């Protein structure tokens, strides 16, 4: 019996190593952790596979039933979590692991040049700007979020999820966008906004945005996006923001 318990514990370590390895190799990793840690999880998975194999053939007689039960529960949780697509209000659905191809860091629209940048990067840039108006024109993308409070002041929120380490610390962040006809867009619709950044003259009422499963949903007040053009787009292959750069080319 003691031997069987030790063998089960070895199998559990092996299974965790195999699951972690599969996530790194087959791409579902992106749903849970920032891709920059892929190497770390891969190395851990390899060590767990080695450790589990050794533990399997040299079973520890001091196994504990409680930890076997908890880890069996965890493996069940794992099987639920890794199957099917997630949808945090469309933030995660259709998420794939295709690598980004090298693209130009600027685009031209109607004769004007725009710097491609993500919402967190634009916030960091705007925070550092001395003037009332952040110099330059920018292209950002995100999900339209509407609330009665925002509609009432002729705005909608442009939001994306940023992940620093893992899904547990994911935060939905974004800007208010000045737009007189917000009803033209539906809540959850992906758009790209070409425009400039201004500072709001006074604090506006809290729009009470909430994103399911997110620790926080934050609007970068008092910054405001003033659009030259808004275009509907499909959901990007990588909807999360994982990378935040302080100079061009931005992660976008």
Partner 1 sequence: MDQNLRVFCSTIIAIFLEASPFLFLGSLLSALVELYLPEDKIQRVLPKGRLLGLAYGLFAGMLIPTCECGVVSIVRRFLKRGVPPHVAITYMLSAPVINPLVLAATYVAFQGNIWMVLGRVSLVAACAVSLGWATSGINPALLLRQKEEDSFFVHTPSACGDSIEPGASDTGFGPGLASGCYSPGRQDVGLTQVFVRTASEFLDMGKYVILGGIVVASLKISLSQDVLLLFQENVFLSVGALMLLAILVSVCSEADAFVAAAFSTFPAAARLSFVAIGPMVDLKLIFMYAAVFKKRVVLALVLVPSAVVYLLSILLGMILR
Write out the residues near partner 1 by the rule CB under 8 A: 2, 9-10, 12-13, 16, 20, 23, 31-33, 37, 40-41, 43-44, 47-48, 50-52, 54-55, 58, 60-64, 66-67, 70-71, 73-74, 77-78, 80-82, 84, 86-88, 124, 127-128, 164-169, 171, 173, 206, 208, 210, 212-218, 220-221
Residue placing its CB nearer to partner 1 in the complex, 20 or 197: 20
| Residue corresponding to tokens 């405001």 | 224
Which helix H or strand E contains 229, and what residues bound it?
strand 216-232
| Cβ 70 to partner 1 shortest distance, Å | 4
Measured CA angle at 172 (ends 169, 175), to 5 deg? 145
Q: Residue 186 or residue 212: which is nearer to partner 1 going by CB?
A: 212
Separation CA 55–CA 138 (nearest Å): 55
The CB-of-88 to partner 1 minimum distance in angstroms stands at 7
Closer to partner 1 by CB, 11 or 230: give it: 11
Please report how close the Cβ of residue 218 comes to partner 1 at its closest, in angstroms. 5
> Angle formed by the axes of helices 65-82 and 2-26, to 10°?
20
Distances (CA, A) of 45 to 9, 65, 186, 211: 16, 24, 42, 32
Question: For residue 249, is the peptide bond before it cis, meaning its omega torsion is within 30 degrees of 0?
Answer: yes
- CB-wise, 179 or 211, nearer to partner 1? 211
């Amino acid at each position: 019996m003691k031997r069987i318990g030790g063998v089960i514990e070895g199998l559990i370590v092996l299974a965790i190593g195999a699951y972690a390895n599969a996530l790194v190799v087959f791409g579902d990793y992106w749903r849970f952790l920032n891709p920059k840690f892929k190497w770390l999880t891969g190395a851990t998975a390899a060590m767990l596979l080695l450790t589990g194999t050794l533990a399997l053939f040299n079973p520890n007689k001091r196994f504990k039933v409680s930890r076997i039960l908890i880890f069996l529960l965890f493996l069940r949780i794992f099987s639920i979590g890794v199957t099917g697509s997630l949808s945090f209000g469309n933030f995660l659905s259709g998420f794939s692991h295709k690598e980004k191809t090298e693209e130009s860091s600027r685009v031209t629209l109607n004769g004007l040049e725009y710097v491609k940048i993500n919402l967190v990067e634009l916030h960091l840039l705007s925070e550092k700007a001395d003037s009332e108006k952040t110099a330059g024109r920018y292209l950002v993308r995100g999900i339209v979020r509407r609330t009665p409070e925002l509609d009432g002041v002729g705005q909608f929120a442009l939001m994306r999820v940023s992940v620093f380490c893992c899904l547990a610390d994911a935060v939905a962040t974004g800007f208010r966008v000045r737009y007189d006809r917000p009803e033209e867009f539906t809540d959850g619709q992906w758009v790209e906004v070409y425009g400039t950044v201004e500072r709001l003259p006074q604090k506006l009422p809290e729009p009470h945005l909430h994103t399911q499963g997110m620790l926080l949903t934050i609007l970068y007040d008092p910054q405001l996006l003033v659009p030259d053009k808004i275009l509907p787009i499909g959901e990007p292959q990588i909807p999360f923001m994982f990378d935040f750069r302080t100079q061009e080319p931005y992660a976008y």
